[in-house]
Amino acid sequence: MVKQPVSSKKRQSFVRLALLLGILVLLNIIGNLAYTRFDLTREGRYTLSESTKELLASLEDPVYVKVYLEGDFPPGFQKLQGAIRDQLGEMRRYAGGNLEFEFINPADQADERTTNELYQQLYKAGLQPTDLHARSDDGVQRKIIWPGAMVYYRNKEVAMNFLLGAGAGSGPLEIINASEEALEYTIANSIKKAITLQKPRIAFTEGNGELDKVSTSDIARSLNEFYSLVRYDLGTIEPVPADINLLIIAKPTEKFSDWDKYKIDHFVNRGGRILWLLDAVEAEMDSMGPDNFFMAMGRELELDDLLFKYGLRVNPFLVQDTRSTQIPIVYGSSGGQPQQRLYPWFYFPLVSADTDHPVVRKIDPVQFRFANTIDLVSAPGIKSDVLLRSSALSRVVYAPFRINLTLATEQSKEEMFNKGGQPVAVSLEGAFPNLYKSRYFNEFAQRAVDSLGMKLADLPKKSRMIVVADGDVIRNSIRQSTGEVYPLGFDRYTNQLYGNKTFIMNAVDYLLDETGLINVRSKQITLRMLDQKKVKAEKIRWQLLNTAVPVLLLLAFGAARAYWRRRKYAKH
């Protein structure tokens, strides 16, 4: 047997090393030129939607994102922080160099004064802080974190909050998981709003006793950041202006004329979108008399024929729901002063979504006041979805009906609430059939239609509607003594903030969305929780497996290799 020279073995070793290094360099170059990522998760957690990719590819100038979620956090927020970093990194790949981001710790400032000033700036910009209470050797420490970011594009900035409300889940982990689910939509939608140069135009209608500016001022302030708002009187002769994309008909109290309805029909015929917020029953707490009751009467708006043609009917029924908000009621006096206590008021339902529709998925409960019910009817070519329903323990009463305040203080039996799941908000989509398409007009009306160019097209354009059977869903409360406007959805008796504003904002985004981006909100990430009882019972077992088994395997491998080397070289 001829032995190879030592120099030849060295040369072969160097050649092998050079080849290995060359292969690694080549793979690195190929990886940089043709980067790809394989998403092996069942729910496609790391895969961007086509609408998001198209949005990122359309960026003409750099978008800069400042994320203020940096610092020492509990594991849940560390997970959210990592998900945000991964999501932005993935988006940067498709932005063609037009997306940059950085993480900032807002608490890491020179002094406390500077920190507080930055906190005030972030709050005024629209970011929402969260309080954390962490236990340490010194006791419980309070810490303020900012799970949000600011998006900058040219001279425009948009606030972006990552953490969803309590409606996202029953516990902190579920809320963080739901926030992670919504990350793609949250970031993409904020970028979309930042780069939109011409705001879509929204009109609050007037002329039929709708809510005034003050009663809708809070939602108007939020909408005005991303949309152009106007007031439009349906009582005018002219059609709805061509540049109006969406009508918000907020709690009308007076009858609609045929001309009002024709203008709405024409608006829908050309593809206009509508958010209806209707009360089919006259019922207001201000009507409560000294005897603590009032009569709820049906409200004649003359909209039944139009809505029926579109595929629904708003019923003159009132929902009573055991899941409701509370109102203060005087139950006695002390020292000549009336004593009040909060009682559940079944006519003010708290409605949660039980659907994955992007408008209502993972939002906080929505506060209704004297809600009606909705029936869906058949309409050709119209797709309908129920967005919100009353709880399982609810029922309906039929107007006219006597509403007595003593209902709140009486003990009610659950078996009486046996008409649960009443639809109170629905969405409709499609090419809506027109009510006035086959109707004849008198000579004057026909001349008006012809002169104003308001003839209905034979093929109506596709449109969308959302109908809510309560006008107060969009109405903000006002402090009568000072005129202070409360945030929409804020209950001044319980100091709770409900999901009304999120619901309305999502509804408007959905109605005006042409890219399909809103559908990203339906993305689901399964939260695979550990069984805590099993973890506690089997803790020692798994610790030993994770520590002892790798060491034993390493020792076994070493012993086997030593034995193999002895066998091999013993022959020589």
Alpha-carbon gap, residue 217 to 215, rounded angstroms = 6
**pLDDT at position 185:** 87
Closest CA to 441 of 206, 261, 208, 233: 261
- Residue 516 Cα distances to 53, 232, 246, 510, 519, angstroms: 12, 28, 17, 9, 6
- Per residue in 327-382, pLDDT tens? 888 766 666 677 778 888 999 999 988 888 889 988 889 999 999 999 999 999 89
DSSP 86: H
**pLDDT at position 271:** 94
DSSP 544: H
- Per residue in 315-325, pLDDT tens? 999 999 999 99
**Confidence grade of residue 471 (pLDDT, cut at 50, 70, 90):** very high
Contact of 365 with 352, CB cutoff 8 Å: yes
Closest CA to 371 of 486, 481, 500, 247: 500
Contact of 78 with 156, CB cutoff 8 Å: no
Closest CA to 251 of 273, 275, 267: 275
**pLDDT at position 167:** 57
Closest CA to 244 of 199, 208, 197: 199
Cβ within 8 Å of residue 140, ≥6 positions away? 133, 134
- Mean residue pLDDT of the chain comes to 85
CATH number, span 50-194 = 3.40.30
Q: Is 1 exposed, middle or buried (0-12, 13-18, 19+ CB in 10 A)?
A: exposed
- Per residue in 385-422, pLDDT tens? 999 999 999 999 998 888 888 887 777 777 888 888 99
- Per residue in 2-46, pLDDT tens? 555 656 667 777 777 788 888 888 877 776 665 555 554 555 556
Region of 31 (left: φ > 0; alpha: ψ -120 to 50; beta: rest) is alpha
**pLDDT at position 487:** 92
Region of 302 (left: φ > 0; alpha: ψ -120 to 50; beta: rest) is left
**Confidence grade of residue 180 (pLDDT, cut at 50, 70, 90):** confident
Say how many C-beta atoms besides its own lie within 10 A of residue 273's C-beta. Answer: 24
**pLDDT at position 24:** 84
Contact of 69 with 145, CB cutoff 8 Å: yes
* pLDDT exceeds 90 at position 567: no
Length reported for the chain: 572
* pLDDT exceeds 60 at position 137: no
Instruction: For Cα atoms 231, 233, 238, give the angle at the middle one, nearest 5 degrees.
Output: 120
Domain boundaries along the sequence of the chain: 50-194, 199-352+362-519
Tell whether domain 199-352+362-519 is in CATH 3.30.1380.
no
Chain-centroid distance, C-alpha 135? 32
